[in-house]
Amino acid sequence: MSEGPQVAAVEAPAGVEPEIELADASPEALLELFEARGWGDGLPLVPPTQERVERMLASVGGEAAAGEVVATLPPRFGRATRHSLAVNAVLAGCPEAVFPVLVSAVRALGDPELNLRGVNATTHPVAPLVIVHGEVVARAGFNAGLGTFGPGNRANATLGRAMRLVLLHIAGARPGDGDASTQGQPSKYAYCIAENAEANPWESYPRSQGVDAPSAVTVYCGENPHNFHDMENSEPGPILDKAASVMATLGCNNAPISSAEFFVVLGPEHAATLAGSGWTRRDVQSYLFERARIPAGEFRRAFEVTVRRPWFEALRDADPMPITDHPDNIRVLVAGGPGKHSCVIPSWGMTRSVTLPLEP
Amino acid sequence: MDPIRIYSPEGAVGRPTRALAASPAVLTGLRLGILDNGKPNAAPLMERMGEQLAQRMNLELVGVFRKGSAATPCEEPLLVEIAESCDLVLTGSAD
Q: Which of B73, B35, B43, B61 is nearest to A74 (CA)?
A: B73
Secondary structure of residue B61 in the 3-state scheme: strand
d(CA A174, CA A39) in angstroms, rounded, equals 8
Record: contact B6-A349, CB cut-off 8 A: no
Q: What is the pLDDT averaged over residues B63-75? A: 87
Candidates A22, A48, A78; nearest CB to B11: A78
With CA atoms as reference, report the closest residue to A118 among A106, A129, A109, A105. A109
Mean pLDDT of chain A: 94
Domain count, chain B: 1
What per-residue confidence (pLDDT) applies to A166? 98
- Average pLDDT of B22-27? 88
The answer to whether the beta carbons of residues A267 and A339 sit under 8 Å apart is: yes
In a domain, B5, yes or no: no
**At A246, which helix (H) or strand (E)?**
helix A236-247
Q: What is the pLDDT of residue B94?
A: 63
Between CA B34 and CA B13 the distance in angstroms is 31
Which residues are CB-contacts of A18 (< 8 A; sequence separation ≥ 6)? A9, A10, A11, A12, B7, B8
Coil, helix or strand at residue A58: helix
Chain A residues in contact with B38 (beta carbon < 8 A)? 305
Distances (CA, A) of A90 to A85, A98, A102, A239, B6: 9, 11, 12, 42, 11
Bridge partners of residue A220, in order along the sequence: A129
More confident residue, A1 or B6: B6
Query: Does residue A125 or residue A59 have the better pLDDT?
Result: A125
Q: Are A91 and A46 in contact (CB under 8 A)?
A: yes
CB pair distance less than 8 Å for B72 and A49 = no
- A209: Cβ contacts below 8 Å, ≥ 6 apart: A218, A355
Weakest-pLDDT range from A125-139, A325-339, B44-58: B44-58
pLDDT of residue A85: 97
Q: Please say whether the beta carbons of A335 and A195 come within 8 A.
A: yes
- What pLDDT is recorded for position B67? 87
> In this predicted model, what pLDDT tens digit does every residue of A186-218 receive, in sequence order?
999 999 999 999 999 999 999 999 999 999 999
Q: Residue B22: what pLDDT?
A: 86
Distance CA A348, CA B63 (A): 31
With 0-12 CB in 10 A as exposed, 13-18 as middle and 19+ as buried, what is A217? buried
Q: What percent of chain A has pLDDT over 90?
A: 89
Residue B18: is its pLDDT beyond 70?
Answer: yes
Phi and psi at A231, nearest 5°, equal -110, 0
B95 neighbourhood in chain A, CB within 8 Å: 123
Interface touch A49/B38, C-beta < 8 Å:
no
Q: Is the pLDDT of residue A350 over 60?
A: yes
Residue A299: C-alpha distances to residues A290, A305, A314, A327 (Å)? 17, 11, 13, 20
CA dist A294 and A310 (Å) reads: 17
Selected residue of B1, B2, B7 to mutate for chain A interface (largest A Cβ count, 10 A)? B7
- AA identity, residue A339: G
Check pLDDT > 60 for residue A145.
yes
pLDDT tops 90 at residue A306: no
Q: How far apart are CA A224 and CA A29, in angstroms?
A: 33
CA-CA-CA-CA torsion for A178, A183, A189, A195, nearest 10 degrees? Answer: -110
Burial B50-61 (b: 16+ CB within 10 A, else e): beebbeeeebeb
pLDDT for A149 equals: 98
Classify residue B3: in a domain, yes or no.
no
* CB-based contact A191:A129 (threshold 8 Å): yes
pLDDT at residue A321 in the model: 96
Nearest one of A271, A298, A294, A297 to A284, comparing CA atoms = A271
Cβ of A170 and B10 within 8 Å?
yes
Give ipTM to 2 decimals: 0.87
The per-residue pLDDT for A14 is 59
Cα–Cα distance for residue pair A144/A13, rounded to 1 Å: 40
Domain that holds residue B46: 41-68
**Which pLDDT value is given to residue A3?**
37
- Percent of chain A past pLDDT 70, that is, above it, reads 96
pLDDT of res. A6 = 39
